[in-house]
Structure 1
Amino acid sequence: MPIRTNRGRAAVYRRLWGWPLRSPRHLIGTLVFLAILLTTLGVALPKLVGKPAATAAPGPGGTSASARPGPGIAVTPTGTATLPTRLTGPQGTPSTAPPSPEAIKVAKDWAAAWVNHPNGITNAQWLEGLRPYTTEEYLPVMSTVDPANIPAAKVTGEPTVTTSHPSSLKLVVPTDGPKLSITVRNTPTGWRVSDYDQAS
């Protein structure tokens, strides 16, 4: 039955507006509903309306400012601009170089200091023998080595270069224990050993 009086309409409106305030549950439900409604409108309206394309006033010569290509942008005969292609090729391998005699000598001297560990030598004394030939960054690693556990007492041959680059060199030094694979790098203070391991 339709509401025909103003008093009846006012009562209906009072009930609608007053419903959220009847209890905390009604209020929370109303707030959740409004949040969902606003989120849905915020997502749906831009898609329905669509954004108008930005146009710029024509500049001198009859071309718009937005149509003028910037540096490094090619314009095709149809008037559309294309961005330059960015080439990302694989990283090249480091260039090889003849082995440095100074680097070979440093590796040989380092190996001689490495096998020099008479009975009773402390780690600090052993490190002092390695210090002139070792990078500052690698000395803390060497400080964890116990000289008594080194299974070699002398170098038994000449170093053999395995890889050689302008700023680094890798070589194998034979000992009476395991062969040493030593990496030597060119630092501001000269060639220094930056790593070693047992060669296979």
Structure 2
Amino acid sequence: MPIRTNRGRAAVYRKLWGWPMRSPRHLIISACVALIFITAAGIVIPKLTGKADRAAAESTRSNVRPTPVTRLSTPGAAPAPTAAPTSLPTRLTSPPPPPSSAPAAPQALDTATRWAHAWVDHPEGTSVEQWLNRLRPHTTEEYLAVMAKVDPANVPATKVTGPPVAKLSFEKSVEAEVPTDGGVLRITVIRTDQGWRVANYERGD
């Protein structure tokens, strides 16, 4: 007969909850039932959830299709090996060899002598332009522009006192010393397309 009142339901619930406490035997039986229920739940629930996860994974794998890889190769030919990166050797640029010495060219020494004679030729009243015109045939154009800044009145020498002496001699340049009454001139003569020309000078003692 169904229980129709709340009071009756409460009485039934009290009997159920109080049954394990009536005796030690009831308590042990209740504990064993609870343990069996918990163990069964621990086994059944993971299996159920594991099946659901595997089903979802299988569904995902079935929907994902692998992308085909196209490989172009010649029939019967072995696959080409992958070329390893190569490092180019560092190119070492050796310095140019020093110029080899050579006997002094007579034309170079002659140019040094002629230039020295023009350099000491500056009588009183000589203008810079007149002095440069005497030096021009024996001087490079670049060095003639440097000589234009020199006042011939400041040149201490008035005459050449001896022959030129080659101190350094190469195939395309000669350094010679020319003695004057105002000291020694150290003259550098180089070979150009126009012949041997003076490219520099220094005054010595």
Please give the TM-score of this superposition, normalised by the length of structure 2: 0.58
- Distance between the aligned counterparts of 1:108 and 1:165, measured in 2? 18
- Distance between the aligned counterparts of 2:100 and 2:78, measured in 1? 52
Give the match for residue 133 of structure 2. 128
Gaps of 5+ in 1: 1-56, 68-79
1:142-157 matches, within 5 Å, as 142-157=147-162
Give the match for residue 112 of structure 2. 107
Instruction: Give the greater-gyration-radius structure (CA).
Output: 2
Aligned-pair CA distance for 1:182: 0.4
Q: What is the identity percentage for the equivalent residue pairs of Structure 1 and Structure 2?
A: 50
Aligned-pair CA distance for 1:97: 1.4
Greater shift in the superposed pair: 135-144 or 90-99: 90-99
- Distance between the aligned counterparts of 2:87 and 2:145, measured in 1? 54
**Does the residue aligned with 1:125 lie in a helix, a strand or coil?**
helix
Among 156, 171, 176, the residue aligned to 1:166: 171
User: Which amino acid in structure 2 is aligned with residue 99 of structure 1?
Assistant: A
> Relative to structure 1, is the Cα distance of residues 109 and 64 closer, same or farther in structure 2, using a 3 angstrom cutoff?
same
User: Which amino acid in structure 2 is aligned with residue 66 of structure 1?
Assistant: A
- Distance between the aligned counterparts of 1:162 and 1:61, measured in 2? 72
Gaps of 5+ in 2: 1-71
**Does the residue aligned with 1:138 lie in a helix, a strand or coil?**
helix
Residue 137 (structure 1) aligned with residue 142 (structure 2): yes
- Distance between the aligned counterparts of 2:112 and 2:91, measured in 1? 43
Higher share in helix: 2
Among 62, 66, 87, the residue aligned to 2:83: 66
- Distance between the aligned counterparts of 2:73 and 2:169, measured in 1? 61
> Relative to structure 1, is the Cα distance of residues 96 and 58 closer, same or farther in structure 2, using a 3 angstrom cutoff?
farther
- Distance between the aligned counterparts of 1:119 and 1:58, measured in 2? 95
Give the match for residue 199 of structure 1. 204
Q: CA RMSD in A?
A: 2.4
Q: Deviating runs (4+, > 2 A) in structure 1?
A: 57-67, 80-92
Aligned residues: 132
